[in-house]
């Protein structure tokens, strides 16, 4: 047995110290601070396997495709420490690691060894799916970005969401071909990464090569991403200018050198063209006009194109009248509305530079707001009717009367008849109603009709009224003009001598009475006066 001495103890401690030192040399200790500015926070969507980076003001900055696990915790955390080549389960190794909480980290897809060509390609190809034991797996480029740009105490929010919660969407992943460069992460920026020379140039895209004349062009239709799916548009240089205020063809060349030193170039020819429809203004949606009024169909309607060319004279007008199915071309400026109802006016203009057409429609509702017109075949002369008739209907009183508007619209059924009886009582008649004839004498009959459309200028419904006298006589005469009322002739009598030199006939005439003692001539005078 070897004798234990102070020298042996010292040698053993030295050997142990060297062993630990050797082991730790391959693992970078936790960083007390990071090189980033602290201007970001991270949100991990377990439902979609997406990490979205946000700026402090809440603006989405970039996004990474990841792989989480069912055990990945949900909540808000603050990164406490970072590592290079940290030992994971297995053992396996993560090249860039940032702890989230407890045993859960952001880390690159794991490696079998601490070598950049020893990554598990099977696990790499699972990125974008739920595949980890709880950590958040990323590409080397993504895990390095977090490592470099997110200092300790960076806020991390992990939640279960949907694609609606990923404002930048889910970046595409690069599938590793096991037969080529197996073991290398294609996003690793290492200068020895063989993927740098394997068809992985940054991709420049132009979404639109035809530009609209007159609209500013800031190059927003160009984008660029590197092979890791990261935006590198801000690294692109442009040669050539585009003047969108003048039609023409403008060659432009884009060139880029990405963060890995890979280059690409794209040459395009932008075509500035007038691609717009003509502009048209002055066409209102709907207006109201009165019957028989005139309207200037082109007075306020103007048209032009984006080049400022006046196309007003090129406007074509077509009108569809009420109850008609087809539009008819109208070439004059003014139009007279000869019917009530809804008119449709169609305005059409063509841009001569590209033959694009703009069409607008205007609706015009034409109404008759005039005072109604009441007419009678008998010119409102007095009427007479016999009492033996017993009743007089609304329809009988309307036989010679008509009510219309200026446009010809009939309002006969809207006429209201008011009858004032000899005793002063009033009776209102509407269609289907009758008047009882109980007393002889003079009846005042008033016809009233109102326009159902309000007159907007006078702010009222205009109406018309006419009156006539109706005489009920003690006879069986049918309704007729008073002046046509038959008069019975008196029987002839021989004059007799009264002894005073006058005949009986002369005495009757002088007294104004007939054989019954009634004042015949007085009644006639009274009727004529009432007429």
CA–CA separation, 153 and 82 (whole Å): 11
For 185-208, b where at least 16 C-beta lie within 10 A, e where not — what string? Answer: bbbbbeeebebbeeebebbbeeee
- Does pLDDT of 256 surpass 60? yes
Q: What is the CATH number of domain 279-367?
A: 2.60.40.10
**Distance of alpha carbon 384 from its chain centroid, rounded?**
67
The domain made up of 373-484 is a member of CATH 2.60.220:
no
User: CA angle 201-207-211, nearest 5°?
Assistant: 135
Identical topology for domains 203-273 and 373-484: yes
Tokens at residue 340, please? Answer: 């009530």
Comparing 219 with 423, which gets the higher pLDDT?
A: 423
Token pair 């915790």 in the structure block, residue:
73
- Does pLDDT of 40 surpass 70? yes
Domain ranges for the chain: 27-192, 203-273, 279-367, 373-484
The domain made up of 203-273 is a member of CATH 2.60.40.10:
yes
pLDDT band at 259 (very low <50, low <70, confident <90, very high): low
- Does pLDDT of 273 surpass 80? yes
Question: Looking at domain 27-192, what is its CATH homologous superfamily?
Answer: L,D-transpeptidase catalytic domain-like (2.40.440.10)
280 beta partners: 303
Please name the residues in contact with 156: beta carbons below 8 A apart, sequence gap of 6 or more. 41, 42, 43, 44, 76, 77, 78, 79, 100
Largest CA distance in the chain: 201
CA–CA separation, 158 and 147 (whole Å): 18
Token pair 């006939």 in the structure block, residue:
505
Please name the residues in contact with 89: beta carbons below 8 A apart, sequence gap of 6 or more. 133
pLDDT band at 198 (very low <50, low <70, confident <90, very high): low
Tokens at residue 237, please? Answer: 């240089």
pTM, entire model: 0.48
Tokens at residue 456, please? Answer: 């907007």
User: In this structure, are residues 314 and 394 in contact, taking their beta carbons and an 8 Å threshold?
Assistant: no
CA–CA separation, 121 and 23 (whole Å): 27
For 479-517, the pLDDT digits (tens) are 889 888 766 555 555 554 444 444 444 433 333 334 333
User: CA angle 319-324-327, nearest 5°?
Assistant: 30
């Amino acid at each position: 047995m070897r004798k234990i001495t102070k020298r042996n103890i010292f040698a053993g401690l030295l050997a142990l110290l060297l062993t630990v030192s050797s082991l730790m040399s391959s693992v970078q200790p936790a960083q007390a601070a990071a090189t980033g500015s602290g201007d970001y926070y991270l949100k991990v969507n377990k439902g979609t396997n997406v990490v979205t980076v946000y700026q402090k003001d809440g603006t989405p900055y970039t996004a990474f495709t990841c792989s989480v696990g069912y055990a990945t915790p949900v909540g808000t955390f603050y990164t406490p420490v970072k590592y290079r080549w940290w030992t994971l389960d297995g053992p396996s190794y993560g090249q860039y690691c940032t702890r989230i909480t407890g045993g859960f980290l952001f880390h690159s897809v794991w490696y079998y060894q601490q070598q950049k060509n020893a990554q598990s390609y099977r696990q790499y190809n699972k990125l974008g799916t739920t595949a980890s034991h709880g950590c958040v797996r990323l590409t080397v480029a993504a895990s390095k970005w977090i490592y470099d740009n997110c200092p300790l105490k960076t806020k991390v929010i992990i939640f279960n969401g949907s694609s609606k919660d990923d404002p930048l969407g889910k970046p595409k992943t690069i599938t590793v071909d096991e037969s080529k460069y197996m073991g290398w992460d294609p996003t690793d920026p290492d200068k020895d990464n063989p993927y740098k020379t394997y068809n992985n140039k940054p991709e420049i895209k132009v979404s639109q090569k035809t530009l609209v004349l007159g609209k500013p062009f800031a190059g927003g239709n160009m984008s660029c991403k590197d092979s890791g799916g990261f935006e590198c548009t801000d690294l692109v240089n442009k040669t050539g200018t585009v003047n969108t205020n003048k039609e023409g063809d403008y060659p432009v060349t884009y060139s880029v050198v990405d963060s890995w030193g890979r280059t690409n170039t794209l040459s395009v020819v932008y075509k500035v063209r007038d691609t717009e429809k003509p502009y048209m203004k002055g066409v209102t949606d709907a207006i109201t006009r009165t019957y028989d009024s005139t309207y200037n169909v082109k007075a306020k309607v103007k048209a032009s194109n984006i080049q400022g060319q006046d196309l007003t004279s090129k406007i074509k007008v077509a009108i569809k009248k009420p109850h008609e199915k087809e539009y008819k071309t109208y070439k004059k400026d003014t139009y007279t509305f000869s019917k009530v109802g809804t008119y449709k006016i169609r305005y059409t203009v063509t841009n001569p530079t590209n033959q694009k057409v703009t069409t607008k429609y205007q609706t015009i509702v034409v109404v008759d707001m005039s005072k109604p017109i009441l007419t009678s075949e008998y010119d409102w002369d007095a009427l007479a009717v016999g009492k033996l008739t017993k009743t007089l209907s609304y329809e009988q009183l309307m036989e010679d009367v008509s009510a219309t508007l200026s446009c010809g619209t009939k309002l006969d059924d809207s006429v209201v008849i008011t009858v004032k009886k000899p005793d002063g009582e009033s009776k209102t008649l509407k269609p289907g109603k009758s008047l009882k004839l109980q007393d002889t004498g003079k009846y005042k009959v008033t016809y009233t009709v109102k326009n159902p459309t309000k007159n907007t200028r006078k702010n009222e419904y205009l109406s018309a009224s006419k009156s006539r006298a109706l005489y009920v006589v003690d006879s069986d005469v049918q309704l007729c003009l008073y002046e046509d009322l038959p008069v019975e002739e008196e029987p002839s009598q021989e004059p007799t001598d009264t002894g005073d030199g006058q005949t009986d006939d002369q005495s009757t005439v002088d007294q104004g009475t007939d054989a019954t003692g009634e004042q015949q001539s007085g009644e006639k005078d009274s009727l004529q006066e009432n007429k």
